[in-house]
Structure 1
């Protein structure tokens, strides 16, 4: 018996539900054996990454997909499927009614192939489709729009890295205007620019189902304000990705300030990703984050918080006081003499530590513990007023993370 058949027989016997093969070329024998595995097994997830499924291999692999009732997730990233592969895939998808998630990431899908795939819209029962990095280009926008108009099941659509630009996002935006199914949309890295984001936002003013939107790496810059104005009226969107939209060598912090001021305290809006939008050493950034978190305790902000400057100052002060023993340190007497430049940072850390379910994940326990250690010894002449309850709260926070 062929070793591939033996392996597939063993997988069936053991009741394996997930098969993931990465970076291995699938021979004709392996593809045939995988086909047999899909027939009558309990496989729910199949991922073949860079398996080189050219020619009729995809047809052989999916020959029994139309009768399969267990496979829920199919991922075929970076397989160079080509027009023939897409044809075979569409033939199976139009019949299969149980597959829920499909990823074709990294397959360069030309317009003819995309048109064929999207024309299956009425027959597709997918709830999630990823066409990331498929080089769809602006003409692909029209076909994606047709899919959104005709399909009745799709809830999540991933289109990052396709250079759709303004020409491609325009028909998609028009389709989203009346779409009542899609809840998650990834448009990151599509060169949308300010005109593209304006077009998208104008359409989403009328959308009442989309909850998650990612427009990272789109050269938006000041267009972030347009998104804020959208969020003022659209109460459905809960999470938005704005990562890496700062123009080269320009500060985006003032724009982000306006963004947060416009959206205000909106309890239904919980997550924003603003990574790679802050220039190193931007002193205004901590104040902005602190203000936002104080005004909305439901808010989670994903951002790399840089402590380099503050920590270096802490080290200098710590070195001056390295003779002070922590055991004999009078906490309440000295907290009020901390340098004011640390005040907002301490409050920021305290807010984080009091939000255990937060998705910030900015700090490890070690980082927080070490930073508080710097602050404890950071004495400076400038004074600021804190009542004892605030000081005791901060001390309790420190003790919680560093009880020794």
Structure 2
């Protein structure tokens, strides 16, 4: 029997356990999906896994949601992304990567040619971090889905992302739910939507956009071909 998927969600995997998994990944030729959701992997464990990704040629999906990799762990993974040619989905939701971690991952996105989905939700990402990601989006040609829910992105961060959307030609889905973009941020996004022709799904749930922001959005939708906009629990 050939294993292609390994699900180790919530199994108390530590850095030492991650090292054993990483050693296996360096030799394995069949595994495509590895789920390490809700474990105890820190920066050291992330380093082991990142080293393995530089050698592995088959893994396409890695989920590290709800671990403890921090900014240093994100840096190790960013280095791996510059070398890896097979990983298409990386989920780092709730890993406290902060400014430094986001900056390293953004730099990697400017060089990576295979990643299509990146989840950075719940990582204390604010306006400055959003700027680094926006810069990456202006260069990246492969990312299709970017998830930034449950962060701290305000109007300034929304402006940076909006500027990127005016140039990016590949991103189809952007999750910005539960941030702090407000009516001013919504105005920036609305302006971008009038020019962007590739984004098909935009999630703005839980943002206080006010009637003014909703008006800007409505105006943009008259010109944009956006197929899905999710505004559940949005405060106007």
Which bracket does the TM-score occupy, shorter chain normalised? over 0.9
- Mapping for residues 62-141 of structure 1, pairs under 5 Å: 62-124=50-112, 125-141=114-130
Find the residue that maps to 2:54 and give its secondary structure: helix
- Contact 1:100/1:126 (CA < 8 Å) preserved in 2? yes
Unaligned runs of 5+ in 2: none
- Aligned-pair RMSD on alpha carbons? 1.6
- Contact 1:42/1:70 (CA < 8 Å) preserved in 2? yes
Of the three residues 204, 214, 217, the one matched with 2:193 is 204
Find the residue that maps to 2:169 and give its secondary structure: coil
Is residue 230 of structure 1 aligned with residue 220 of structure 2? yes
Number of matched pairs? 233
Cα deviations by residue, 1:218-262 (Å, 9 ceiling, x for unpaired): 012312232221111112x11110111244xxxxxxxxxxxxxxx
- Mapping for residues 3-402 of structure 1, pairs under 5 Å: 14-38=1-25, 39-124=27-112, 125-222=114-211, 223-235=213-225, 237-247=226-236
- Contact 1:105/1:133 (CA < 8 Å) preserved in 2? yes
- Contact 1:141/1:170 (CA < 8 Å) preserved in 2? no
Judging changes above 3 Å, is the alpha-carbon distance between structure 1 residues 31 and 201 closer, same or farther for their aligned structure 2 residues?
Answer: same
> Cα distance, 1:51 vs. partner?
1.8
Q: TM-score, normalised by structure 1?
A: 0.55
Query: Larger radius of gyration, structure 1 or 2?
Result: 1
Q: After TM superposition, where is structure 1 displaced by more than 3 Å over at least 4 residues in a row?
A: none
Which of 1 and 2 has higher RCO (CA within 8 Å, sep 6+)?
2
Judging changes above 3 Å, is the alpha-carbon distance between structure 1 residues 186 and 232 closer, same or farther for their aligned structure 2 residues?
Answer: same
- Contact 1:15/1:41 (CA < 8 Å) preserved in 2? no
* Greater share of residues in helix: 1
Judging changes above 3 Å, is the alpha-carbon distance between structure 1 residues 154 and 50 closer, same or farther for their aligned structure 2 residues?
Answer: same
Unaligned runs of 5+ in 1: 1-13, 248-404
Q: TM-score, normalised by structure 2?
A: 0.93
